[in-house]
Amino acid sequence: MSEVLSKYLPDHAVEPLFELIKLNSVHLKIVNERQTRHGDYRKAVNGKHEITVNSNLNKYRFLITLVHEIAHLVAFEKFGRFIKPHGNEWKMTFQRLMLPFIRPEIFPHSVLPLVANHFKNPTASSDTDARLAFALKQFDERKADVYFIHEVPSGSLFRIKNGRIFKKNGLRVKRYECLEIESGRLFLFNANAEVEILPS
């Protein structure tokens, strides 16, 4: 298991995470990319704790995702099945489990302060923390024709993964206002949304 984990995690995180997996009897599956989630946890009918994590995540997002899912398992076991999935019990558990990993040997200097700040009050998804999500995405393997929305010139057309086409208007506080061409409706996009720029 350690050899497998070493392909997906920062070097100094492999052994402590392997211990966490053993301690909590986790059955870990590394699966193909899913658009709607980075990972998930469920207790199977046979009582096994099953966690899946997407194989395409960079090593820092993989680490955060795996600890996020283990935190669900630990919080449910400690506080019972009726707690909110991302409520206070889970947040406390996630903070406690992540703390040993928030170190310069594990996270690069560009990401470490953002991770530390995020874990003062972790959210259901690190994607909602735009600064952290953008910093983590710098370590993704990006396709040549994929851009972050903040890189798209104002007034330009772009396409999102599901094929819908938008025109970028302007920045509204922290998010970008964009017009969907087909419906004429306005939508707001986080600065780190990945899009394909269309020729004008």
Rounded-to-integer distance, Cα 37 and Cα 130, Å: 17
pLDDT in tens, 63-83: 999 999 999 999 999 999 899
For the chain, the domains span 2-137, 147-197
Q: Which CATH number fits domain 2-137: 1.25.40, 1.10.3470, 3.30.2010, 3.90.550?
A: 3.30.2010
Predicted pLDDT of residue 144: 66
pLDDT in tens, 36-47: 789 999 988 888
35 pLDDT above the threshold of 80: no
Predicted pLDDT of residue 125: 85
Task: Report the predicted TM-score, pTM, of the whole model to 2 decimal places.
Answer: 0.79
What is the per-residue DSSP string for 109-146? TTTHHHHHHHTTS--S-GGGSHHHHHHHHTTS---TT-
pLDDT in tens, 103-118: 999 999 999 999 999 9
In contact, 134 and 148? CB cutoff 8 Å: yes
Q: Which CATH number fits domain 147-197: 3.30.70, 2.40.230, 2.30.30, 3.40.50?
A: 2.30.30
pLDDT in tens, 113-136: 999 999 999 988 887 787 898 889
Rounded-to-integer distance, Cα 162 and Cα 159, Å: 8
Mean local confidence (pLDDT), 194-200: 87
The confidence band for 148, taking pLDDT boundaries of 50, 70 and 90, is confident
CA distances (Å), 30 to each of 7, 57, 149, in order? 11, 10, 29
Predicted pLDDT of residue 44: 85
19 pLDDT above the threshold of 90: yes
Give the residue, 195 or 173, on which the prediction is more confident: 195
182 pLDDT above the threshold of 70: yes
